[in-house]
C-alpha cells in the first residue's frame, strides 16, 4: 500500500543553501558503521532513487518539497525528485537547469562526491536542513544507496558532452554496444518503445537523446524507475566511456 507524506513546511529563501550536500552536520553514525553500510549499499538503486524515488518505492507525496524555492515553476510530486533541483547532469544551476522551467538556483551534487559516506548520510538525514529523506524512505539502506550514488555514480557531464551539447563518444563503438545491449527492447531504430511521450513517460531513443542527452545518459547508466530496463553500469558492466558511446550513437537514430 502506498504511503502518503504530507508536507507542512514553508519554504524560506535562507534555507536554500542548506540543500547542498556539503554537510557540516555531525554524523549520527560512527565511521565504522558508515563504512559497513556504505560497502553494502546498492549503486543501481541509488541511481534509480535519484531519478524518481517515489516511483521506485511506491510512495505518494503531497504538497511541494519544503526546500523547493517559491520562485520555481514546478509544484507537487516532481519537486521531491533529486534530479529536479540537482539536475540530470548533477551540476544544478550550472548545467541544463541554469534556465527554463526547471530552474531553481540550487547547486548540483557533483562536487559532493568527495565527501565521506558518514557526512553525506548526515546531510541526507538532517532535520535542521529540512532535507531529511528518512521521513520518506523508511529503509535505511535506501539512504545509503543514495550516498553511494553521490560518491560513485555521477559522471563528469563536461567530458561526456562537448560545448555544443553533443555527446563526445564514438558512433561506431556506440552502435555495437547499442545493438548488443539495448536493441532487443528498443529496436535497432530506437523506436520500439516510443509512446510519443504520452504513455509511461517513454519516448523514442533518438528523440530523447537529442532533446535531453543528460537524462538519456542517466537512464542508460542506471535504468528507468518502475521498468525492467537494466543498468549499463551495474547489470552490463560497461565503463563510463562506453555509456557515452551509446549516447553518441543514440543521438543519430
Same domain, 119 and 171: no
Same domain, 12 and 68: yes
Same domain, 9 and 56: yes
Rounded to 5°, the CA angle 106-108-114 comes to 140
Same domain, 49 and 126: yes
Same domain, 12 and 76: yes
> 45: which 3 cell numbers?
538503486
Q: What is the pTM of this model?
A: 0.86
Same domain, 105 and 185: no
* Residue that terminates a domain, selected from 153, 183, 217: 153
> 98: which 3 cell numbers?
541554469
Does position 28 have pLDDT exceeding 70, yes or no?
no
**Total domains present in the chain:** 2
Does position 238 have pLDDT exceeding 80, yes or no?
yes
Assign residue 222 the CATH number of its domain: 1.10.760.10
**Residue, of 1 and 115, whose pLDDT is higher:** 115
DSSP symbols for 184-231:
HHH-TTS-TT--TTSSTT---HHHHHHH-HHHHHHHHHH--TTS-PPP
Using CA atoms, how far apart are residues 54 and 142, in angstroms rounded to an integer? 12
Distances (CA, A) of 116 to 34, 35, 44, 71: 9, 9, 19, 32
Same domain, 214 and 244: yes
**Residue, of 15 and 247, whose pLDDT is higher:** 247
Same domain, 163 and 190: yes
Structural domain boundaries, residue 79: 3-153
pLDDT at 7: 37
* Percentage of the chain modeled with pLDDT above 90: 78
| pLDDT tens, residue by residue, 29-38 | 577 788 899 9
> 211: which 3 cell numbers?
532533446
Same domain, 141 and 121: yes
pLDDT at 250: 98
Does position 24 have pLDDT exceeding 60, yes or no?
no
Cβ(209)–Cβ(247) under 8 Å? Answer: yes
Amino acid at each position: 500500500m502506498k504511503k502518503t507524506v504530507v508536507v507542512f513546511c514553508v519554504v524560506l529563501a535562507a534555507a536554500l543553501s542548506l540543500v547542498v550536500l556539503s554537510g557540516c552536520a555531525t554524523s549520527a553514525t560512527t565511521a565504522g558503521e558508515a563504512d559497513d553500510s556504505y560497502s553494502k549499499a546498492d549503486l543501481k538503486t541509488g541511481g534509480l532513487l535519484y531519478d524518481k524515488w517515489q516511483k521506485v518505492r511506491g510512495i505518494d507525496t503531497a504538497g511541494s518539497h519544503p526546500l523547493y524555492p517559491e520562485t520555481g515553476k514546478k509544484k507537487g510530486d516532481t519537486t521531491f525528485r533529486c534530479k529536479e533541483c540537482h539536475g540530470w547532469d548533477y551540476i544544478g544551476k550550472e548545467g541544463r537547469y541554469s534556465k527554463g522551467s526547471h530552474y531553481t538556483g540550487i547547486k548540483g551534487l557533483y562536487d559532493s562526491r568527495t565527501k565521506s559516506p558518514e557526512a553525506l548520510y548526515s546531510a541526507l538525514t538532517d532535520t535542521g536542513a529540512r532535507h531529511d529523506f528518512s521521513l520518506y524512505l523508511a529503509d535505511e539502506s535506501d539512504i545509503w544507496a543514495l550516498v553511494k550514488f553521490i560518491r560513485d555514480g555521477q559522471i563528469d557531464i563536461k567530458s561526456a558532452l562537448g560545448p555544443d551539447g553533443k555527446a563526445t563518444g564514438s558512433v561506431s563503438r556506440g552502435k555495437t554496444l547499442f545493438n548488443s545491449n539495448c536493441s532487443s527492447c528498443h529496436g535497432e531504430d530506437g523506436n520500439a518503445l516510443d509512446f510519443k511521450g504520452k504513455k509511461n513517460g517513454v519516448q523514442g531513443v533518438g528523440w530523447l537523446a537529442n532533446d535531453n542527452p543528460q537524462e538519456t545518459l542517466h537512464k542508460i547508466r542506471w535504468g528507468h524507475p518502475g521498468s525492467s530496463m537494466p543498468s549499463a553500469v551495474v547489470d552490463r558492466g560497461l565503463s563510463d566511456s562506453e555509456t557515452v558511446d551509446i549516447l553518441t550513437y543514440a543521438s543519430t537514430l
